[in-house]
Amino acid sequence: MATYNIHGGVGRDGRRDLRRIAAVLQRLDADLIALQEVDSTPTGREPSAQMHELAQLGDYLAIPGPTILTHDRHYGNALLTRLAVTALTRVDLSQDAREPRGAIVADLHSARGTPLRCLATHLGLRTGERRCQIERLRPWLLAPPTPLLVMGDFNTWWPLARTERWLTQWLGPSPRLASFPARWPVLALDRLWVAPEGVLQGLARLQDPLTRLASDHLPLYAELALPIPTTSTRRD
């Protein structure tokens, strides 16, 4: 599982080059990837259809979650998944006079049949804005079906921020790995939480010359140990 803010495919050198993003995703080879700042416009015009192009390269199902919608541009969040999708909800997290924000909530099944709920989001830049957005997501964060995977760009750099404390209280602790800016990462803006405890087996950031150039964020990737569904047998 991975989360990656691709910055619209624009790298640290100011060039828009989706081939670099594609190379990063191929290196991650994750079964589920949350993308932020991705174009999902349903046309073939450049730089449109970034989500669709990336999905084809990795044999993914593409789930758009655009937050900026105009007649010629769909831009925002997306999920790329190789897992079966059983239910899907898009949550509007927009605040007045601020950049539109949203979340994708997807109920999935692994190849073994294990259910997994994924919540992928990109929160706002202001403290009060993020608090309201987390409050709006509360129904999907409290008492959810488990396991629950929450990931994205949370724009929270201060470990004692209220949104950070809420998420840790509800979902349990998760490592804070600096992912921004990509060249010299000092801020843990990109995060990944997993509940219940024990499902998250490892969390790391992919940091090399390519990822330091391809976007202004580094990708995070996680290894999960999903429980194997139990089946009951009847004995006569």
> pLDDT (tens digit, 9 = 90+) per residue, 96-137?
889 999 999 999 998 778 899 999 999 999 999 999 999 999
pTM: 0.92
Superfamily of domain 2-224: Endonuclease/exonuclease/phosphatase (3.60.10.10)
At 45, the pLDDT band (50, 70, 90 cuts) reads low
Write the CB contacts of 156 (distance below 8 Å, at least 6 apart in sequence). 123, 130, 163, 164, 188, 189, 191
SS3 28: helix
Q: What pLDDT is stored for residue 110 in this prediction? A: 83
Q: What pLDDT is stored for residue 232 in this prediction? A: 44
Runs of H (alpha helix) within 9-61? 18-28, 50-57
For CA atoms 10, 12, 14, 17, the dihedral sign is: negative
Element (H, E) at 51: helix 50-57
At 235, the pLDDT band (50, 70, 90 cuts) reads very low
